[in-house]
Amino acid sequence: MHQRRCYSDRSVDSQKGNAVDTPVSTPQSEMSASKPRIRVGIGGWTFEPWRGSFYPAGLAHSKELQYASRQLTAIEVNGTYYSTFKPPTFAKWRDETPEGFVFSLKANRFATHRRVLADAGDSIARFVDSGISELKGKLGPIVWQFMPTKAFEPGDFEAFLALLPQQVEGLHLHHALDVRHPSFATPAFVALARRYGCVPVYTDSDQFPAIADAEADFAYLRLMRSQADVPTGYTPEAIAQWAQGVRSWTSGQRPRDVFVYFINGAKERAPAGAMELLRQLGTTPSRAA
């Protein structure tokens, strides 16, 4: 259970979810210009073991997104990592979900699964211009997931970050970097990401480094240790510790938005874990049409 961690002034403990605070003077993020948002969800919404456990028996497959988006407050879309979707699809997702719901999108792997990241410009543009702006206010962070074998090469990685657009169709874009090689667990990476307004993904996993940036504009957590023999994946006690960490990010001198996804691990337990965290946070998903 040992983690490779990179901490700056504020970080989340990978086992307890506790935050360690040191005053910082960077300006409050645009994303949290009003009351900070907490978004908790799962990866995708189509998974056969969820039928009869998370989804009511007999629910049509076409109604799964409508149902999931009224039990949770966010979904991380994995399909965009493997395939290219068209604008009407994003518009359909937007219209099927209630106000306040958010989609995080995994960017297409053609942009990140390459030896030379500096050459990713066309793939990045193709993804960003594919119609994601149709989500409008329901567009959350874009997650750029890199290969576990891709080591940190500062020059090449900076060239990639310089290619990331700041907006599309008038929507400001928020970029989360899901790096998976241990060489990224260094202050140099955190500083580089911060320079380009990007946020390291904090991964609770045995396999990947856990990296948090105290001065990031938002927090993006992927909880990957769900256990099949625990009804909520993580025990309620562990979830309470994550809830404490989440609250620390959304309070204090510099409150920030937080996105938390129960993902991978014992995936069948993910919805129950996400709903338990929402319950402990006192957050009620919107049920509006």
pLDDT band of residue 214 (cuts 50, 70, 90) is: confident
Q: Taking 50 as the threshold, does the pLDDT of residue 285 lie above it?
A: yes
The share of the chain scoring above pLDDT 90, in percent, equals 83
Residue with tokens 């909520």: 232
pLDDT band of residue 2 (cuts 50, 70, 90) is: very low
Q: Taking 70 as the threshold, does the pLDDT of residue 117 lie above it?
A: yes
- List, for residues 29-85, the tens digit of each pLDDT value: 345 456 789 999 999 999 999 998 999 999 999 999 999 999 999 999 999 999 999
- The whole-number pLDDT of residue 4 equals 37
Mean pLDDT within 167-179:
97
- List, for residues 55-67, the tens digit of each pLDDT value: 999 999 999 999 9
The rounded distance, in Å, linking the Cα atoms of 75 and 145 is 16
pLDDT band of residue 287 (cuts 50, 70, 90) is: confident
Mean pLDDT within 195-207:
97
pLDDT band of residue 3 (cuts 50, 70, 90) is: very low
The rounded distance, in Å, linking the Cα atoms of 173 and 166 is 5
Q: Report the interhelical angle of 154-161 vs 187-195 (nearest 10°).
A: 20
The rounded distance, in Å, linking the Cα atoms of 229 and 227 is 6
- List, for residues 15-33, the tens digit of each pLDDT value: 333 333 322 223 333 454 5
Region of residue 174 (left: phi > 0; alpha: psi -120 to 50; beta: else): beta
- List, for residues 82-105, the tens digit of each pLDDT value: 999 999 999 999 999 999 999 999
- The whole-number pLDDT of residue 253 equals 84
- List, for residues 224-274, the tens digit of each pLDDT value: 999 999 999 999 999 999 999 999 999 888 899 999 999 989 999 999 999
Give which of 112, 121, 120, 74 is closest to 93, Cα–Cα. Answer: 74
Residue spans per domain, the chain: 5-281
- The whole-number pLDDT of residue 77 equals 98
Mean pLDDT (the chain, rounded): 89
CATH architecture of 5-281: Alpha-Beta Barrel (3.20)
Q: Judge contact between 221 and 261, C-beta under 8 A.
A: yes
Mean pLDDT within 138-166:
98
